[in-house]
Chains A and B, each alone.
Chain A
């Protein structure tokens, strides 16, 4: 579909890495909100599922100048594939039209019942944001943890073995907010009514979520900061997830810079 994806809203996220403490609450909130499965061996990082994933980075300096920081990484909900196409690379390659950019929200959708499990999108995603279900996570026949299915939320359908899943910006929360708005005789929702589980849960308020097309929304203001950047920006995938950091070494980690290519800004500004 070549139509410009903006149909009013373009939801995006800003993560302030100066505030992020690496506690991991966002990961848990995401998993609990979205019925993500958990296995006995979660250390198999190629096969476990974390829609929101913390990446740990260090400045590489010797003791005692070592510093640790974290990148929380949801799905980036890219706008382009980096080759001039107006769809993210995962959407471009999907053979089953199981993933698309939602024209109403800019959110990259994933329909599990449509997915054939070819994992092409997984290979195409430069952010490793897509996950394949190698097992039936919640199975009534052979439960991985007896009784745990009682905490499943009806707002997100549990996935079966053999399909790909990823962060949806808690799309069901948009639907929840819309239902509430309709009940209150409104068509549009307020900024605070729709936020993702990770943003809501972050105890340091490091994650801000909102409509990038609405100049009044916090996210639109935050991305104008000189400290704002995106992951692998030079791929031109136009992610809708932004980061803020006043630390040059953190910002430098966000892309593969050639020697001399990265321009430190913290000195220039502060």
Chain B
């Protein structure tokens, strides 16, 4: 076909020119359509809403009240939820422990719940080599029968004492009762609890007062607080309570009603914020306390009523103190100015309600027994035992005692055998668990005497200040079972993990928040449904016991853990009147001082139980003060400056065997013992002291990622942590800020960087606790070093616990 003389196909050919015309036509057409304008708008919006940026679902706001169990403080918390998602933790104002505030750890608690990388999502068994973190998921049935089978097998061959149970739950809590019961029912004598300063406090109380009263300091009513290294602002006790009190004490800028004196070798937050900082060499606190006692007695400032009518052994104590603890001598030991000691003594004795507080740092690690006794003696001297503003003596919470178990023949035989750690033996009569002995027994033996190790709510491989001994011991143990919800170091070594719920998914109790001055029973309730296939360890114990069967099963007649809690709570109802509600108007410590009796706010047990479950609280803000006549349950019936119990114990074993270097009566009284490592001992001329921070979790609960925001880059920089040293020490060693060094003790070595800090005592090296994880996820693994693995300070006399506050170290430039 032709057109105008040309072939039409030629005319219609898609040549370059026509193609451009087509494009131009298309462009004009598109321009005349809404497409470009709509596209421009939409793509602008698209850039604002990347599909990978999550959009948090909206929903109804709910506020669930419960109690935090991340530390022994037991603060009341309120969890804000959006439908079934927990989005924020806040402090409760209707809970007497903490009026509204909580600590950073509690605040970051949701990251422990939701960070899947640190949690076990169900029971697992190890497949790779130990420590490789290689597991396979198994079902609960398989996990339970594996464990029950192993225990039954050991029972059959009579090797029950090769089972050891490590328990990190708080003393007297229902979980601890259950775990100890299980150990007993199986027939193993080796039930071990992670020691804390509360244990040391209670042992000191047992030796001098004859009762193991829970730690109860009436700080809010005190006007002079002399703290021997207690990190009141660094996580001691219930941080929500203490820091709130601190704020109250600082309300009046010019006229402070309460003075706080901090004895500590390093300018911690507590030391800096205190009214006075008294630096004393680590481990010499007992000498300082006795030096203060010396001045008080010499000047006749002590409470004569108490000393004359309610104390025994005072003359011996007086003689010892006057002979050995003059301010000049104490100044030499502690490095504190002698005039300062005199003024401290005067200030302490002349205050209306002075109180001396013990428990180093957070109080999460053991203390020194003689030191705790010396501090208690100081309180006794001024007659502030069981007085408002002093140290209160209480009976433990009146929880129902569960019926005694009836051990079968195997168990009866096993319970006769001696403990592996020798705790409670003649050499260590006052200790319940001794991890260093335990680890040593395993390490020294050709074949581990422990076959199966069960670990509940604890991470001994990381938290124990033992120079890494327990970790080395655990490597030899053939079979380790962890009940941890988290991928902690100890669970990493386990062969079988039966994960517990996270604290926000769990029902459990809190027996007496650490240091609180009135009895309080708290209850934590699940605020979210369990996210994963985990089980409350309380339930698991019951299920496991039933599977083992026989007398072990009979020892656990309950169907579920909550029944046990309920049964024990009956004791609260039966024994004394308490309250289950708190309106926040009058603080409980104020109500106590009023001295009025209490009429319970419930009329039946069921009512009380329902209230406890919903409010998480039973407490008794009333107290019989003074009562010195019948308070002390010692053999003498009085407060014993010279402890009869130690005297009696010394008849069973020599003082030397008990690790005591003092002789005569001095050994039965609080005294200071100079530990072996002298200054300038060989090449290990520096001393390493671990320190705790409120914003860095160092216990069983891992550090939530948010808390890392609060660390300074002179504490942790990339993967390296810092050792604090004084500028003077630094210049002697020719070290600059940021230098890399190796710290070496006889137990181990770590690589750190140097942070020069004026607040560090010359000659000492300070390392933070809580870093240096080798398990968990990218947030924690490999960040910094763990000073626990360096600790090598010998043994605390009498208690047999490790001295972790004074390790000789060598510093080598890296």
Contact = CB atoms under 8 A, between A and B. Distances in A.
Residue in B58, B80, B108 whose Cβ sees the most chain A Cβ within 10 Å: B108
Given A61-B758, A67-B267, A203 B247 contact: yes
A27 B101 contact: no
A139 B52 contact: yes
Given A21-B273, A32-B108, A149-B54, A63 B279 contact: yes
B139 to A, nearest CB: 22
B244 A203 contact: yes
A68 B113 contact: no
B91 A201 contact: yes
A82 to B, nearest CB: 29
A246 B251 CA distance: 12
Interface string B147-165: 0000000000000000000
A28 B104 contact: yes
B277 A23 contact: no
A35 interface: yes
B798 to A, nearest CB: 31
Contact of B759 (A21, A58, A138, A152): A58
A41 B59 contact: no
A53 B230 CA distance: 26
B709 A50 contact: yes
Given A38-B705, A141-B52, A146-B117, A24 B247 contact: no
A114 B233 CA distance: 42
A38 B695 CA distance: 15
Interface in A197-237: 197, 200-206, 227
Contacts of B757: 58, 66
Contact of A38 (B49, B247, B709, B728): B709
B52 A140 contact: yes
Given A23-B103, A50-B709, A203-B244, A63 B695 contact: no
Contacts of B273: 21-22, 69
Nearest to A55: B712
B48 A113 contact: yes
A190 interface: no
B717 interface: yes
A48 B726 CA distance: 29
A255 interface: no
Contacts of B711: 42-43
Nearest to B781: A40
B692 to A, nearest CB: 12
B45 to A, nearest CB: 8
Contact of B101 (A42, A45, A138, A201): A201
A200 B56 contact: no
Given A43-B717, A151-B113, A28 B707 contact: yes
B239 interface: yes
Contact of A151 (B57, B114, B277): B114
A158 B89 contact: no
Contacts of B558: none
B57 A154 contact: yes
Given A63-B762, A151-B110, A23 B267 contact: no
Contact of B114 (A27, A28, A150): A150
B85 interface: yes
B269 interface: yes
A144 to B, nearest CB: 8
A19 B694 contact: no
A146 B250 contact: no
A151 to B, nearest CB: 4
Contacts of A24: 104, 694-695, 707, 709-710
Interface in B206-221: none
Interface residues of A, number: 70
A216 to B, nearest CB: 20
B294 to A, nearest CB: 22
Interface string A20-54: 01111101110111010010111111001010001
A145 B705 contact: yes
A153 interface: yes
Nearest to A68: B272
A138 B758 CA distance: 40
Given A48-B709, A67-B272, A201-B90, A147 B107 contact: no
B277 A54 contact: no
B253 interface: yes
Contacts of A29: 90, 107
B244 A43 contact: no
A25 B272 contact: no
Given A21-B243, A40-B779, A153-B87, A270 B709 contact: no
Contacts of A157: 55
Contacts of B90: 29, 200-201
B239 to A, nearest CB: 7
B709 A31 contact: yes
B713 A43 contact: yes
Contacts of B779: 38, 40, 145
B331 interface: no
Contacts of B103: 23, 25, 203
B102 interface: yes
A270 B253 CA distance: 9
29 contacts: A18-B250, A19-B251, A23-B694, A23-B695, A24-B709, A25-B102, A25-B103, A27-B706, A28-B104, A32-B89, A43-B708, A45-B713, A61-B758, A138-B53, A138-B54, A146-B116, A146-B117, A148-B115, A151-B114, A153-B87, A154-B56, A158-B56, A197-B88, A203-B98, A203-B101, A204-B101, A205-B100, A246-B253, A270-B253
Interface of B: 48-59, 80, 82, 85-91, 98, 100-104, 107-108, 110-111, 113-117, 233, 239-240, 243-244, 246-247, 250-251, 253-254, 267-269, 272-273, 277, 279, 531, 694-695, 704-713, 716-718, 726-728, 757-762, 777-779
Given A139-B53, A205-B247, 7 more contacts: A28-B704, A32-B89, A43-B716, A43-B718, A66-B272, A153-B87, A158-B55
